[in-house]
Amino acid sequence: MNIVVCVKQTPDTAATITVLDGKVSWGDAPLVINPWDEYAVEQALRTKEAHGGKVVALSLGPEAAREALKHALAMGCDEAILVSDPALEGKDSLVVSKVLASAIQKIGGVDMVFVGRQAVDSDTGVTGPQLARRLGWPALSLVAAVSALDPAGKSITVERMIDEGRQVVRSPLPAVLSAVKELNEPRYPSFMGIRKASKATIPVWSAAEVGLTSVPAAVLAWPEIIAPPKVETKCELIEGATPAEAAAKLADRLVAEKVL
């Protein structure tokens, strides 16, 4: 199985995010691999361990995105490729999906692509399905379980999370799978893995090198970034001599205030 896993470098989810000079700032918070992508990497590795093959981690981003790729290598990916080009800075998912699709075509012979369900920074959750559409492959989004995989028959059956439960889908390969948390428990990078990753050479591909001679302009713009208004809520603490009394008082207040 030739597997590609796409990863993104994002600020840590515990970071305080502010607007500074009209731009998003995360101060000196650490940049990490997008948490959703760890589930994608883990599933890619498990698939390789069960069926053989190779896992290539792919990222689009600035030089700093190397760290996300190193994390993926330390977890056990065989190779990593960074697509980086000043012309690609600040591009939206429409462009990103095009670049990733071109890179995957350049890698060639890919059977499966894993992505995380969304990036915790831009929160769009559309890059995976858009990548699938670009490649003309089925999008298996929000995968919570892989029920069957037949590498010889090039077929896979997955359980997708939908709002009403799960949808079990059978699909031919190649396909693009987006991972949710229920899919697995990502492993921690091993000491050996970290050592290997620190020594690995990560090739950098420019937009032209993945076959995009001209980079299309982004169609989306962010005219304004706003810090949400601080909600100053005064909490009315309800007290009572017994839990029953406090609960009854709360019930009274909720009904009186028409909350319920």
State the nearest-atom distance from the C-beta of 46 to other proteins, in Å.
18
Residues 76-95 that bind other proteins (CB under 8 A): 92-94
Name which of 152 and 259 has its Cβ closer to other proteins.
259
| Nearer CB in complex with other proteins: 124/202 | 124
Q: Does 97 bind other proteins (CB under 8 A)?
A: yes
Comparison of 75 and 139: residue with beta carbon closer to other proteins: 139
User: Taking CB under 8 A as the criterion, which residues in 127-186 touch other proteins?
Assistant: 127-130, 132-134, 138-142, 144, 157, 159, 161-172, 180-182
Near other proteins in 109-138, by CB under 8 A: 120-130, 132-134, 138
> Is residue 73 packed enough to be buried (19+ CB in 10 Å), middle (13-18) or exposed (0-12)?
buried
If phi > 0 it is left, if psi is from -120 to 50 it is alpha, else beta; for residue 160 that is beta
Is the CA virtual torsion 92, 93, 99, 100 positive or negative?
Answer: positive
How far is Cα 62 from Cα 78, in angstroms, rounded to an integer?
A: 21
Query: Is there binding between residue 247 and other proteins (CB under 8 A)?
Result: yes
Instruction: Give yes or no for residue 203 binding other proteins (CB under 8 A).
Output: no
> Is the Cβ–Cβ distance between 120 and 36 less than 8 Å?
yes
Q: What span, in angstroms and rounded, lies between the C-alpha atoms of 152 and 34?
A: 32
CB-wise, 2 or 155, nearer to other proteins?
Answer: 155
Handedness of CA 205, 206, 207, 211 (dihedral sign): negative
Residue 221 binds to other proteins (criterion: CB under 8 A): yes
CB 41 within 8 A of CB 77: yes
Answer yes or no whether residue 20 interacts with other proteins by CB under 8 A.
Answer: no
Choose between 106 and 253: whose C-beta lies nearer to other proteins: 253
Binding region for other proteins (CB under 8 A) out of 1-9, 47-55, 202-210, 215-223? 215-223
Q: What is the DSSP letter of 23?
A: E
Cβ atoms 95, 218 nearer than 8 A: yes
